[in-house]
């Protein structure tokens, strides 16, 4: 059996942010990431102005991050459309790029990163890997994100589970002209789609959709996209620029709204394993980064015993962003709310900026 003081499971933004912060202060964590190569995780790729600032403090500069500048939000619902400026300059960036930069930074700071091996099961004080090796630890940072780890899985919610779907739109002058410096939100019955340009000029169209809506389309994502295109001309024009017959990435049962409020000594839950904000807010990565840094700081100051205080403090810090994003999601779930959203934005431009701020986690 191997032993380590601090073990981080998962090398997404949360795990990497914790690893950088711990390593920077000499704590030399061990991080286990199941993917051998950094993939392009299913994510809308919207990084807010605050997350960009946080990345700077972690040693990932704006220049290194690059990305496509996002300055406005454009909302579509049926035939309605509204557009307002964002309160800060965001970027659209692929997860391949972001995760690569963060993990390289963690290694440069002295973290030990082991790739290509998954934790099969975790519990406070140890993890069992897929090859049956056991790693015992004083403190476990659980950062497996969208994927639950047996032994410490999040409870499954009730009601219609939300799924994540993604299609890519290849870079083209038509796409660049259509999207410009905006993130688009297309609201529809049973879900929404976010669309923005990334660093290479390609479009990332990421949807959160209820399982029931997908079931109406016979469980076929392509049929669902065709139906959504029939309902919205704007979405149909955008989908026409992609390869709908090509691959569609999917992720099941995203527990939006879930938030942990307490923990026990030696177990720090980070990122999506601590709080899952509705993705139309575009703040999941912000929470992941903030929680990673915060958990590391609590641990550096108070050791394994600080887990409970950390989890309570994180729950408090995510309360307003989660409530605000939840309220937006609830509004978008009703026909009246969806149709009112573009009009409200157009009539009260400062409302958009205020909501965009409310859904951010404080630095
Ligand atoms: C449809 C959709 C759109 C979204 N759009 C946005 C957006 O535009 N902006 C935004 O900020 N957020 C967005 N999010 C949310 C964002 O993707 C997540 O909140 C964020 O990725 C959480 O980061 P994390 O580090 O907690 O987890 P993840 O990014 O999921 O990373 C977890 C890591 O752990 C690894 N792992 C998993 N299981 C194991 C295991 N057993 N052993 C070892 N390693 C393991 C994985 O390979 C992965 O690298 C979106 C989410 C969805 C579903």
The alpha carbon of 288 and the centre of ligand 1 are apart by a number of angstroms equal to: 8
Inter-residue contact 154 to 161 (CB < 8 Å):
no
242, pLDDT greater than 90:
no
The yes-or-no verdict on residue 98 having pLDDT over 90 is: yes
Q: Is residue 49 part of a domain?
A: yes
80 CA distance to ligand 1 centroid (A)? 31
Report if residue 218 sits inside a domain.
no
In angstroms, the CA 5 to CA 28 distance is 8
Q: Is 67 in the pocket of ligand 1 (CB under 6 A)?
A: no
Reported confidence tier of residue 124, pLDDT bands at 50, 70, 90: confident
**213 located within any domain:** no
Q: Is 170 within a domain?
A: no
Query: CA-based diameter of the chain, in Å?
Result: 63
Beta pairing class for 182-188 and 68-77:
parallel
pLDDT score recorded for residue 243:
78
What is the per-residue pLDDT for 363? 73
Ligand 1 centroid to Cα of residue 357, in Å, is 22
Q: How far is CA 111 from CA 3, 27, 260, 272, in A?
A: 15, 8, 27, 22
The pLDDT score that the predictor gives to residue 245 is 75
Dihedral of CA atoms 167, 173, 178, 184 in degrees, nearest 10, equals 40
Q: Identify which of 284, 293, 314, 321 to mutate to test ligand 1's pocket (most ligand atoms within 8 A of the CB).
A: 284
- Ligand 1 atom with least separation from CA of 272: 26
Q: What is the DSSP letter of 150?
A: B
From the number of C-beta atoms within 10 Å of its C-beta (0-12, 13-18, 19+), residue 188 rates as buried
| Ligand 1 atom closest to Cα of residue 291 | 26
Atom of ligand 1 nearest to the CA of 287: 19
What is the C-alpha separation between 181 and 174, in angstroms, rounded? Answer: 14
Whole-number average pLDDT of the chain: 95
Q: Which residues form the domain of 63?
A: 2-157+255-358
104 falls within a domain: yes
Percent with pLDDT over 90 in the chain: 90
pLDDT at 342 over 80: yes
Q: ∠171-175-179 over CA atoms, to 5°? A: 125
- Among residues 95, 250, 104, which one has the least CA distance to residue 163? 250
List pLDDT tens digits, range 243-284: 777 789 999 889 999 999 999 999 999 999 999 999 999 999
Name the residue at shortest CA distance from atom 30 of ligand 1.
145
Task: Kindly report the CATH number assigned to the domain that includes residue 266.
Answer: 3.50.50.60
Phi-psi region of 329 (alpha: psi -120 to 50; beta: other; left: phi over 0): alpha
CA distance 323 to 5: 35
Residue 51 resides in a domain: yes
- Contact present, 344 and 309 (Cβ < 8 Å): no
CA of 42 to the centre of ligand 1 (A): 7
Q: What is the CA radius of gyration of the chain?
A: 20
How far CA 229 is from CA of 169, 180, 234, 247, in Å, comes to 15, 21, 8, 18
Please report which confidence band the pLDDT of residue 45 belongs to, taking 50, 70 and 90 as the band edges: very high
Q: What is the mean pLDDT of residues 2-23?
A: 97
105 lines ligand 1 (CB under 6 A): no
Which CA distances in Å does 198 have to 69, 179, 181? 9, 11, 10
Residues 6+ apart with CB under 8 A from 266: 124, 125, 137, 138, 139, 140, 304, 307
CA of 323 to the centre of ligand 1 (A): 20
In the reported structure, the alpha carbon of residue 211 is separated from the centroid of ligand 1 by a whole-number distance in angstroms of 20
Whether pLDDT at 223 is above 70: yes
Output the six-digit token pair for 290.
């903030």
> Strands (DSSP E) along the chain, which ranges?
2-9, 30-33, 46-47, 68-77, 80-92, 112-115, 119-123, 126-129, 134-142, 162-169, 182-188, 191-197, 203-210, 249-254, 267-269
Is the beta carbon of 206 within 6 A of some atom in ligand 1?
yes
Residue having the nearest C-alpha atom to atom 41 of ligand 1: 119
Distance 348 CA to ligand 1 centre (A): 33
Does the pLDDT value for residue 140 go beyond 80? Answer: yes
The alpha carbon of residue 6 and the mean position of all alpha carbons in its chain are separated, in whole angstroms, by 24
At residue 159, does pLDDT exceed 80?
A: no
The pLDDT score that the predictor gives to residue 121 is 97
| pLDDT, position 334 | 95
What total number of domains does the chain contain? Answer: 1
Q: Say what the pLDDT of residue 158 is.
A: 65
CB of residue 284 inside a 6 A radius of ligand 1:
yes
pLDDT value for 198: 98
Residue 196 maps to a domain: no
Q: Are strands 68-77 and 203-210 parallel, antiparallel or unpaired?
A: unpaired
How confident is residue 21, by pLDDT bands cut at 50, 70 and 90? Answer: very high
Q: Is 143 in the pocket of ligand 1 (CB under 6 A)?
A: yes
Q: At what angle do helices 335-347 and 307-332 cross, to 10 degrees?
A: 90
- Residue 211 within any structural domain of the chain: no
pLDDT at site 269 = 97
Is it the case that residue 303 has pLDDT exceeding 70? yes
């Amino acid at each position: 059996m191997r032993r380590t003081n601090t073990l981080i499971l998962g090398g997404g933004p949360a795990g990497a942010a914790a690893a950088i912060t711990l390593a920077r202060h000499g704590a030399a964590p061990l991080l286990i990431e199941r993917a051998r190569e950094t993939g392009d995780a299913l994510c809308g790729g919207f990084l807010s102005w605050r997350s960009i600032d946080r990345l700077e403090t972690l040693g990932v500069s704006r220049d290194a991050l690059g990305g496509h500048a996002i300055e406005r939000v454009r909302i579509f619902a049926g035939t309605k459309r509204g557009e307002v400026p964002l309160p800060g300059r965001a970027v659209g960036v692929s997860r391949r790029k972001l995760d690569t930069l963060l993990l390289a930074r963690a290694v440069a700071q002295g973290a030990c990163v082991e790739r290509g091996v998954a934790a099969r099961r975790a519990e406070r004080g140890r993890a069992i890997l897929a090859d049956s090796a056991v790693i015992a630890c004083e403190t476990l940072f659980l950062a497996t994100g969208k994927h639950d780890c047996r032994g410490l899985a999040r409870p499954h919610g009730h009601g219609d589970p939300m799924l994540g779907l993604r299609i890519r739109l290849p870079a083209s002058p038509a796409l660049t002209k259509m999207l410009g410096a905006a993130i688009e939100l297309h609201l529809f019955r049973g879900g929404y789609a976010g669309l923005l340009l990334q660093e290479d000029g390609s479009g990332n169209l990421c949807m959160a959709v209820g399982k029931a809506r997908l079931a109406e389309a016979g469980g076929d994502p392509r049929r669902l996209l065709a139906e959504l295109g029939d309902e919205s001309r704007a979405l149909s024009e955008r989908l026409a620029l992609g390869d709908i017959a090509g691959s569609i990435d999917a992720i099941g049962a995203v527990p939006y709204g879930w938030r942990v409020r307490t923990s026990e000594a030696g177990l720090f839950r980070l990122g999506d394993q601590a709080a899952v904000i509705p993705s139309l807010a575009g703040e999941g990565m912000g929470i992941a980064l903030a929680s990673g840094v915060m958990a590391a700081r609590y641990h550096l100051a108070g050791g394994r015993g600080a887990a409970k205080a950390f989890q309570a403090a994180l729950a408090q810090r995510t309360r307003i962003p989660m409530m605000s994003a939840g309220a937006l999601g609830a509004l978008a779930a009703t026909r009246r709310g969806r149709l009112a959203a573009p009009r409200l934005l157009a009539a009260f431009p400062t409302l958009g900026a205020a909501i965009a701020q409310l859904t951010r986690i404080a630095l």
